[in-house]
Structure 1
């Protein structure tokens, strides 16, 4: 449990002068609120589902585990969603292009102007991913043509092998040249001050197998929390502004900083990447802490999410109740970001940790009620929240975030492979992926229970129904409408 850590984090914020305008507590609800279930695919009840990509009537879903025989259809599943009320699995990308031993197809994205599906594969853990031999697996990003008939049976066209192992990536397509130029901003988690923490890779010539890397190294030292624990300074993820000039960093313990990537965005030779936020002004709160950081469209504000596992991972750090939640951050002065507000669900309240349910090992060892991946409109944040389900937060006033909707499905009776760290407990819902809004419908993947297609009916529903395409880890589609990029 992390009750002591919570107090330390609040004390640290108070000492730094970071004042919270508001803290919201959302009580858990069992019935869907603000959502209509349109369609569901259990994805062969395989369990261990991972990232999601959606394009032209098809959804593509990666796997959190590897290709061992006991894992059912462990490749990348292709789902026909032309009829959203009746999604059907129509193909599996398997070996050798996916589902190797020790390898997870963890991150997926699509460059629509090129009809290219890209998949980040890397070694996975025996302890938390049910994999074997992942330590010996070299990372690779595979690129598939999904034009025409290849949408159903994607054709491998090239493979990129990063110089460092990525964990997550943000796809940035140049708004000025969307058919010709795209970059992958990849987190490469390390506590080293000499090895890259992030690599920006030019994938413009991916079809020809030509890739150019631009590394950035976080050279600042890890800080120390009030309890004496050293910050985890590994970069977990990053969001990128629509114009590519700013990158918003999410370090697991070292927290939130803003990076100037304008020279990369404009394509300057030998570009410099520099911190806008001095390391001494970074905003941090705990280990494990920040998972994702994304800009709120149209505002000088960011939203961050945490990722905290159950107590089964306590040997790796202070996991468990009250897990992690979302925060809004004022970036009007990028050199000194300020915490504005927090948003938590019921299980993130310290009082829950003292309750019978919150202190029951069957509900805390292998379960997480943590925030995870966010997708934002100017006024709404759609956040996969592990066993709390899919949360929608009204962020029209970032200082006072409130619940606008929630979806928590009835779990499947059983699956082929349970998540060793996240679904062995009492709660069998594990919402995980970045939500994707496509043609007004919300697509989201649950690790255990499959693909859900939802219609949002809550507050500001018209803003969502009018969206052509939006995802939290690219600048595609309506992201450019919500925040038009500055001219290069």
Structure 2
């Protein structure tokens, strides 16, 4: 067991019941945290999502839970505006998900503690994994299979009416195009496979997307129905792959990119955070990497490596140039990328491991309008509510 580590973070509250202890994405709307669950085989752990009243962050408590239908991995959710929540329906692998209905659920959350399903958007193949919603542009961006494409590609949906989303365009890397064949069902792709992971992120007329084993793409999205590849870079091989998120640093010509640590093997020299220089958009160039002390964490068990970030990095304001990065058994890390060539850690929070939860697996992170940070564990730890004090 290891004690809690906290530098420039303060714990406000903790709710171990979030997502039955094993969570993924978190969204905070109207004083309530919605937490998608990764599921599992242990008793009392389910696919689906839970809702928590966090209006008093020192006393968060569960007020609702929704359990997924059989065969569905239901762990990613996004606020889609107008009191609407989208929750993915991603088929479980193999026979378990054979007859499941892929797509996403549409919930009315006008009563935040009592979500009510009001619709479902059907999609082919495996169904969407980590998707994004751009509330400013009224768009949903989903990684999903599509006819004529090999593996998951970008589905762009107009959600000006979030109850009735409309497909604007479907786009993938040119080499994902294929002739004939129906969309497949591959919800757990190998680390080296070229498949959109997401979520794609838009800045101006550019979209940035991570394609797992297929690298990072800079895309001209001036016309969402006819997007064009501008630049691309891939480092798999020699690195392992599993490229997860690509996010611009404010209006600066740099991207922060994470490769997701996987469960099958711990890599000391792969699956970390990168910074890319995109001053020449046609030739993105990795210029630095960051990871915590490998000798300290790599042997603790579970996944060691990067996962996701708060998917908005500003170039001004109190969090200017700070990346909030989940690093599984190394907890949450705050990284200053003011100098993109030399990222510097400026804070961290690693929950204590206990006899009940021997391995910390900090999985995802979100924030609310007040600047509180919500850290989600996927191995029994639930949700910590934090304040960054750096």
Range of TM-score over shorter length: 0.7 to 0.9
Which is helix-richer, 1 or 2?
A: 1
Answer yes or no: is the 8 Å Cα contact 2:32–2:52 preserved in 1. yes
Which residue of structure 1 lines up, in the alignment, with residue 184 of structure 2? none
**TM value normalised by structure 2:** 0.85
The alignment covers a number of residue pairs equal to: 366
Aligned partners of 2:259, 2:42: CA distance in 1, in Å? 33
Check if 1:171 corresponds to 2:101. Answer: no
Which residue of structure 2 lines up, in the alignment, with residue 341 of structure 1? 288
Aligned partners of 2:130, 2:118: CA distance in 1, in Å? 22
Change (3 A) 1:442 1:400: same
Aligned partners of 1:340, 1:156: CA distance in 2, in Å? 45
Answer yes or no: is the 8 Å Cα contact 2:259–2:272 preserved in 1. yes
Aligned partners of 1:253, 1:163: CA distance in 2, in Å? 22
Moved more, 197-206 or 51-60: 197-206
- 1:79 paired residue among 32, 41, 52: 52
Aligned partners of 2:133, 2:38: CA distance in 1, in Å? 20
Check if 1:284 corresponds to 2:240. Answer: no
Which residue of structure 1 lines up, in the alignment, with residue 384 of structure 2? 452
The within-5 A match list for 1:43-82 is 43=17, 46-65=20-39, 70-72=43-45, 74-82=47-55
Answer yes or no: is the 8 Å Cα contact 1:190–1:235 preserved in 2. no
Instruction: State the Cα RMSD in Å.
Output: 2.9
**TM value normalised by structure 1:** 0.69
Show structure 1 runs of 5+ residues with no match: 1-27, 127-131, 176-181, 223-228, 265-270, 416-426, 459-488
Check if 1:156 corresponds to 2:117. Answer: yes
Answer yes or no: is the 8 Å Cα contact 1:167–1:189 preserved in 2. no
Which residue of structure 2 lines up, in the alignment, with residue 305 of structure 1? 258
Which residue of structure 1 lines up, in the alignment, with residue 90 of structure 2? 122
The within-5 A match list for 1:278-427 is 282-285=233-236, 286-310=239-263, 313=264, 320-347=267-294, 352=295, 358=298, 363=300, 367-375=302-310, 376-378=313-315, 379-411=321-353, 413-414=355-356
**SS of the residue 2:73 aligns to:** strand
Check if 1:432 corresponds to 2:369. Answer: no
**SS of the residue 2:75 aligns to:** strand
Residues 272-322 of structure 1: CA distance to partner in whole angstroms, max 9, x if unpaired? 111011x5xx24242333111111112111000011224xx25xxxx5444
Tell me how far 1:242 sits from its aligned partner.
4.0
Answer yes or no: is the 8 Å Cα contact 2:144–2:151 preserved in 1. no
Check if 1:215 corresponds to 2:170. Answer: yes
Aligned partners of 1:210, 1:171: CA distance in 2, in Å? 12
**SS of the residue 1:32 aligns to:** strand
Which is strand-richer, 1 or 2?
A: 2
Aligned partners of 1:196, 1:230: CA distance in 2, in Å? 14
Answer yes or no: is the 8 Å Cα contact 1:283–1:338 preserved in 2. no
Moved more, 102-111 or 183-192: 183-192
Which has the larger Rg? Answer: 1
Show structure 2 runs of 5+ residues with no match: 178-189, 316-320
Answer yes or no: is the 8 Å Cα contact 1:62–1:76 preserved in 2. yes
Which residue of structure 2 lines up, in the alignment, with residue 206 of structure 1? 162
Which residue of structure 1 lines up, in the alignment, with residue 183 of structure 2? none
**SS of the residue 1:414 aligns to:** coil
The within-5 A match list for 1:88-237 is 88-94=61-67, 99-112=68-81, 114-125=82-93, 133-147=96-110, 150-164=111-125, 165-175=127-137, 182-188=138-144, 193=149, 197-207=153-163, 209-220=164-175, 231-237=192-198
